[in-house]
Homo-oligomer: A and B are copies of this chain.
């Protein structure tokens, strides 16, 4: 439907982005915020056409897409507010102390934008983590122009969103090149962009293969650039003994909802339930089986995802020592996914790395450990995760401090008696985890702290107040929080 953007066109896009950067980075925080709020308005103005187009391209139900549109607009407006509030700038000042040995110069530091950012959106969030999604919002807030490569699975939705951004850019008198939208069915367009000297950072949400390729290209450049690839994970749920003994039924209900939510097509879908053999566990499994059986399968996002799910599922179930517990038994039409629950023991899990891999879709594996020792070994054997969840009573927690210590090292978000699906958009959210969950565990792709991904500190030494950016002037005209001579304050400097 859309032709691949040619290399000559990409070159033009990149020249425009660089020129736009040199103007846009000098725009005030208020101007950036106004642009972001206008984008949110233009998304709303797309009305039902946006929802209908996305429904046709992604198989996602209307209510979900209406909710996701609201989330997308909230991201834009709340990150705009955070951009203006200015805490993300980490402004700090130390005034001169000329009579010290050696004399201390006047130093003032704040975050400044990196330059043009390329964004690769997610197939499972056609609005919130795609064209006008979190990465784009954060880059605009930081002061960077954005080039979005449309996701081939929802290129039409992406084009609508791109037009909304471009309309907002025109309304807000943004420089030409502040936003560009390009197409590519294969990897070539992405590779060209990732390797291009004009590109200064990359945001990506998707598969490990895609994210890792971008990471490698970016690091092999003459001037390496940061890649923020959120590549999903299996999101282990650690179920502790007293909890499963006392609450097997409610726990099963809670987890069944999370496992099957959105046909398991979330990067925070719980793909592993790690447990210790007990009578309570047997009851839990029976409850979970019944709960999951009651869910009707829906169409997956697109045929590619459905095929990929079927293949990975078959492979997982074919591993030695894996037993099927429950699977959708109705005849299902093409494109739907079989909701599946399987189990294995701790020893088998520890010996087979295939069982540690994500199966993107409505599948979970229960790992039944023989004892506490094996339970800890399984925890230690896991790779980096976006989330880890503990299902535990206070007694369980007190008795498993060593386990908690290890789990913290492998996850970006540590949840107690809650489910990992449902990624709240707020400042304390960390969406990102140790590799391979993401390529840079130090940055989040959800929440206003994501703005910092596209910025770096710059120190100004010995500048006259007149020539400093407003953020660092003595009078603090923006009234932002700054660390002045080691103390956080919003006061001006006299």
Interface residues of A (CB under 8 A from B): 22, 25-26, 82, 85, 87, 90, 92-94, 102, 104-105, 107-109, 112, 115, 215-216, 219, 223-224, 226, 383-384, 394, 397, 405-406, 408-409, 411-418, 422, 424, 426-430, 432, 434-436, 439-442, 444, 449, 455-464, 466-467, 481, 483, 486, 488
Known: A22-B405, A107-B428, A216-B219. 11 other contacts (CB 8 A): A107-B429, A108-B428, A115-B409, A223-B436, A413-B459, A427-B483, A428-B459, A428-B483, A444-B457, A481-B488, A488-B488
Q: Which among B216, B461, B464, B483 is the interface contact of A414 at CB below 8 angstroms?
A: B461
Interface pair B408/A442, CB less than 8 Å apart: no
A415 to B464 alpha-carbon distance, docked (Å): 11
In contact, A397 and B457 (Cβ under 8 angstroms): no
Can you tell how many copies of this chain the complex includes?
2
A442 near B430 with CB under 8 A, answer: no
* Complex Cα–Cα for A216 and B82 (A): 35
Asked if A412 and B108 make an inter-chain contact with CB atoms under 8 angstroms apart, the answer reads: no
Asked if A87 and B413 sit within 8 Å, CB to CB, the answer is no
Contact partners of A467 in chain B: CB under 8 A: 394, 397, 416
Complex interface: chain B residues within 8 A of A483 (CB): 87, 427-428
Question: Across the interface, do A92 and B427 meet the contact criterion of CB distance under 8 Å?
Answer: yes
Hey, which chain B residues are within 8 Å of A459, CB to CB?
A: 412-414, 428-430
- In the complex, are the beta carbons of B428 and A92 less than 8 A apart? yes
A93 to B424, CA, bound (A): 12
Q: By the criterion CB–CB under 8 Å, are B461 and A94 in contact? A: no
Query: A219 CA to B442 CA in the complex, in Å?
Result: 15
A384→B26 contact, CB < 8 A: no
In the bound complex, what is the Cα–Cα distance between A463 and B26 (angstroms)?
A: 42
Q: Is the CB of B488 within 8 A of A87?
A: yes
CA of A430 to CA of B91, assembled, Å: 12
Chain B contacts for A435, CB-based, 8 A: 223-224
